[in-house]
Amino acid sequence: MPVDPVKGVRYKSFRGNGTQYFQGGDPIWTDVNGDYALDDADDNVITGNPDPLVTGGFTNNFTYRGFSLNVFCSFLIKRSILNNAMGARLYRAQFPEQLRIGGSAEGPVNYYDLNRINYWKQPGDIAQYPAIGDIYHAQAVLPNRLDQTLFQEDGSYFKLNQITLAYTFRGQEFMRRLKMRMLRTYFTAYNVGIFSPYSGPNPETVTSLGRDDINGYPSATSFTLGLAVQF
């Protein structure tokens, strides 16, 4: 733990229920003003950008005889996302009696399998997330607060939005009998896949501040099979 060389006391927090000194398993936060005391007034900094550097997309249409293949893709480069979905899981594990951060204790609580999370458990651990357990200490330090770079990730992605494979019939005997000028059959897949370094639920479903709190469902994959006829 960082120790003030003048006063000989550990790095401390002024949040929540009085002063709490940092201990093993707490997040490693930067003491911005160098006073060995963490507080929102002097140690908060602006970081990240929820607005993407580049957005774009492209579509391609490939044809061969009666077949056609249309692919529509979109992409987004360099946007910061706060994975508040993971932050909320850790917060609820720390305070399971609360339905939501800052909310009431009424109603059901969605609990998460902690075996799937790499969090600090004992001295010597090198973990991705802080310790879970000391509730009184956590109320002052807020180790899993949502507005920290621990949950900030790269939200770039490349998405296959839509793929359509079609075949067009022209001049067949059965078409002449049915007085068809054109018959086209097609198969379309929507929201085919998304590729992203982001570890959260979906890099698309974020707020204007770049927070992903999964208050909605990702875009579902769907399929359409159809016919287009001209007489």
For CA atoms 95, 99, 101, 104, the dihedral sign is negative
Minimum mean pLDDT range among 52-66, 193-207, 209-223: 209-223
Kindly report the pTM of this predicted structure: 0.79
Percent of the chain as helix, strand, coil, to the nearest 5: 15, 30, 55
Mean pLDDT, range 183-195, rounded to an integer = 94
pLDDT at 121 over 70: yes
Q: 71 or 93: which carries more pLDDT confidence?
A: 71
Cα–Cα distance, 229 to 166 (Å, whole number): 13
Cα–Cα distance, 150 to 129 (Å, whole number): 8
- Half-sphere exposure at residue 129, Cβ-oriented, CA atoms within 13 angstroms: 23
The closest alpha carbon to 154, from 218, 85, 87, 77, belongs to: 77
Q: How confident is the model at residue 110 (pLDDT cuts 50, 70, 90)?
A: low
- How does the average pLDDT of the chain come out, rounded? 85
- The per-residue pLDDT for 189 is 97
Q: How confident is the model at residue 72 (pLDDT cuts 50, 70, 90)?
A: very high
Q: Which two tokens stand for residue 147?
A: 């507005």
Minimum mean pLDDT range among 67-81, 93-107, 144-158, 194-208: 93-107
- The per-residue pLDDT for 194 is 93
Q: What are the pLDDT digits (tens) for 4-19?
A: 888 888 888 876 556 7
Q: 137 or 221: which carries more pLDDT confidence?
A: 221
